[in-house]
Amino acid sequence: MITSVLVANRGEIARRIFRTARSLGLSTVAVYSSADARMPFVDEADAAVHLPGNTPGETYLRSDLIIDAARRTGADAVHPGYGFLSENAAFAQAVLDAGLTWVGPPVDAISSMGSKIEAKKLMAAAGVPVLAELTPAEVSADDLPVLVKASAGGGGRGMRVVSRLEDLAAEIDAASAEALSAFGDGTVFCERYLASGRHIEVQVMADRHGTIWAVGERECSIQRRHQKVVEEAPSPLVERIPAMRPRLFDAARKAAAAIGYVGAGTVEFLADEDGNFYFLEMNTRLQVEHPVTEETTGLDLVELQFAVAAGEHLPPEPPPTVGHAIEVRLYAEDPLHDWQPQTGTLQRFALEREVRVDSGVEDGSEVSPYYDAMLAKVIAYGPDRTAVARRLAGVLQRATIHGVGTNRDLLAWVLRHPAFLAGDTDTAFFDRHGVAPGPDDAVVRLSALAAALADAAGRQARTPVRVPSGWRNLVSQPQRKSYRYGDVVVEVEYRLTRDGLTVAGDTALISLDCGHVVLEVDGVRRSFDVAAYDGLTCVDSSLGSVALRPVERFVDPAAQVAAGSLVAPMPGTVIRVGVAVGEVVKQGQPLLWLEAMKMEHTIAAPADGVVSELTVEAGQQVEVGAVLAVVGEET
């Protein structure tokens, strides 16, 4: 009998499991790294144990420390969540050896699916459709394009698409190196690449008594870097091809039965537009996107995990799927700059609660470079797919998210895109349609004007003598204030007159206080909410959200870097250095590779030249803005 559960995870999924555990009357235990000491999940647990260090290797991947924490706190069960050790058979066995209940599948089932190469052989033998595996040596021009995949992991790590035979060897080496770093196993294989396939998966739930449920399917085709961004249930493709669902469910049940599966798991398939599908992998754990299945079935999958772990029987059949649910993953990243992760303090985080928000953060949370960039999952449910998509887009657009850049605008754009609303959602969505553009120049300028006016009003309110800066007895020059938006500097003007603050041109100031500005342009009135933080001003309006950085009038010379300097765009770890001092390089040539938030990022030469300085080495941790190398002219 389970009375206390330790969740061997962090963030959003830890909070999600705690929520169900509390409803079942179980006490909860958290483990946390130094970087996570002030995160919400730590305070929400009944007890918490510190794992010294920051990186996953020092903390959440240390099975010995986690089991010791369970012993010290009196926990009698361990739930792994997803990621980290959730699909590690050795960890599952260690939990059982310690006399604890493992809230997960049998150790042998985890081992069977741990190698994608061996898993595909098992599935083929069980009658599940698979794509033929290709060894790197046998790939020919007729096989192209191919996908190089890590055998031991997922999440887009160790994965490369190869379209030219001459690139194959180099991409295999790169994928193998990334897989070795991420999973401790550099084994890779190749398979035929379906450039515009559909990613369809089936949620399974099985008990110890032979009952196997296929609990509806999900579609997760909209991806970036082979990682999911938007997930929904049911699948638009399967809805269009009704005969596909029984075949999918039958294949998923066969897959689970072939390995004696028990608990919650997901069988993933790659499908084409005609309804043909092929086994990709089986995730022997709870999936990130499990909420859409919960919303459309009324099930609590975590509660079922606890029940199955305790030996309870499942009913003969699962409940039917009703309505439609869509989940979006809110990431701290910049889609317009190669999905670059964003770090820093999340000053404000507020979404309307008319939808489900599974979040790992709150106001004041620190987004660190050590873990996945996902801040929250936002899920909407209703009877109609189009209405659900539009409602979810509106909630995202009205969200207040300050301090860290996110993919919020991209998600709202996807949900309103005609192709998405038509159900045309294959894995090449972003390749075909691009990504959401940022706000246009007019919106940025109007937001900057609102920010400057709110700043001026705030300074007036704080000034003991009511003669504000810039006041003149006669008409003189306007006040000017500059903001940086990305790489662009925006300068705006306003005047201080006997009647107060005014603006010129076709823009009229209607009302103003420190945090709220109403402007009218060409007869259209709009409201702007302005929030100022140290070095950052955030402006929210119906035109969108704009994050501005005030430009200081006097720049600290120590903050300047030499021309040709390559600086770290984010905190991270240097995993490879591809050049040496004195080496001649070409514009765009990769020079260094950084790893941050479970993603690999290439730092390339900004121009032709020679490497005159190299300030880092492999394995070194760097902060954002740190100079990594300098590329000077060849002369």
Pairing of strands 198-206, 263-271: antiparallel
The pair of three-digit structure tokens given for residue 591, joined into one six-digit string: 């020079």
Quickly count: other Cβ atoms within 10 Å of residue 158's Cβ: 28
Q: Are 17 and 48 in contact (CB under 8 A)?
A: no
The pair of three-digit structure tokens given for residue 607, joined into one six-digit string: 């121009």
Query: Rounded to the nearest 10 degrees, what angle do helices 385-398 and 408-416 cross at?
Result: 150
Cα dist from 449 to 86, 402, 456, whole Å? 50, 18, 11
Rounded-to-integer distance, Cα 314 and Cα 107, Å: 21
Q: Are 324 and 395 in contact (CB under 8 A)?
A: no
The pair of three-digit structure tokens given for residue 16, joined into one six-digit string: 């999600």
**Please, what is the end-to-end C-alpha distance for the chain in angstroms?**
75
Residue that has been written with the tokens 């083929």 in this structure: 124
Write down the catalytic residue from 160, 218, 253, 285: 285
- Tell me if residue 304 falls in helix, strand or coil: helix
Find, among 410, 635, 435, 384, the residue nearest to 545 by Cα: 410
Quickly count: other Cβ atoms within 10 Å of residue 190's Cβ: 24
Q: What is the dihedral of CA 441, 442, 446, 448, to 10 degrees?
A: 10
Q: Is 480 among the residues known to form the active site?
A: no
Rounded-to-integer distance, Cα 377 and Cα 358, Å: 5
Find, among 330, 258, 255, 317, the residue nearest to 288 by Cα: 330
Q: Could you list the active site residues?
A: 285
